[in-house]
Structure 1
Amino acid sequence: MGKDSKAKDAGGKGKGKQASSGGGDEAKGAKGKAKSDLGTCTYVKARHILCEKQGKINEAYKKLQDGWLSNGDKVPPAEFAKLASEYSECPSGKKGGDLGWFPRGKMAGPFQDVAFSTPVGATSAPFKSTHGYHIILSEGREN
């Protein structure tokens, strides 16, 4: 999913951000201004579900809709993590789909576009990338 040529350089920055923020106040501070900095943030913290088949990702999304989205609720990260563990075919599925913090330029094409445009706390609709079908839960953003 990541671009190999940038993963090593960006990886160090991502780990530093993850360690310094710990998902704490900085992510919460960004929450209030998420709409204004969607296109300008430098780092995103996200979870995802990856499936090879569209039918399987649609099944996972239906569970999210039935449980939370159809009521206008946000999906709790712990509940998203349970679905990722059950449905995701990505190695991150074993960690509840947790991708941690990653910088712009680390993820490929449509995945990056959706990750950096999904507001904090929101869940994306299913979308296709070169790796399969995804759903993303945005957990934080930083500049």
Structure 2
Amino acid sequence: MATASACHILVKTKQEAEQLKGKLDNGADFHQLAKKFSTCPSGKKGGDLGEFRKGDMVAPFDKAVFGGPLLKIQGPVKTKFGFHLIKVLYRS
């Protein structure tokens, strides 16, 4: 079974996600922004979701993690929880 590890920042609006992505593109620290802005409990850990299996997350998130590039910020990715910026650390 495929596994991955990722960090994310979850916010309520696409506009907020795009603003944060702009900061990340300009060199802002992902973990610091996650701690400050993410509405997910993982925000306290800098957005770190740990390791999970394909199919464990909601479909749009899963697709981004298992189909997108490694170590590049993806998003905003819309799910029922809000808008995510996702950084995939590794896949196996």
Q: TM-score, normalised by structure 2?
A: 0.91
Q: Deviations over 1:78-134 (max 9, x none)?
A: x21111111111000000000001001100110100111122212113121111000
Structure having the larger proportion of residues in strand? 2
Larger Rg: 1
Residue 58 of structure 1 corresponds to 18
In structure 1, C-alpha distance between the alignment counterparts of 2:14 and 2:70, rounded to whole Å: 25
Runs of 4+ that moved beyond 3 A: none
Q: Deviations over 1:63-84 (max 9, x none)?
A: 012227xxxxxxxxxx211111
In structure 2, C-alpha distance between the alignment counterparts of 1:105 and 1:95, rounded to whole Å: 22
Give the one of 95, 119, 125 matched to 2:75. 125
Q: In percent, how many aligned pairs have the same letter?
A: 38
* Length, aligned pairs only: 92
Alpha carbons 2:6, 2:89 under 8 Å: kept: yes
Residue 40 of structure 2 corresponds to 90
Give the one of 48, 55, 61 matched to 1:111. 61
User: Root-mean-square deviation (CA), in Å?
Assistant: 1.5
Structure having the larger proportion of residues in helix? 1
Aligned counterparts, 1:1-143, within 5 A: 42-67=2-27, 79-142=29-92
Task: Report the alpha carbon displacement of residue 53 of structure 1 after superposing the two structures with TM.
Answer: 1.6
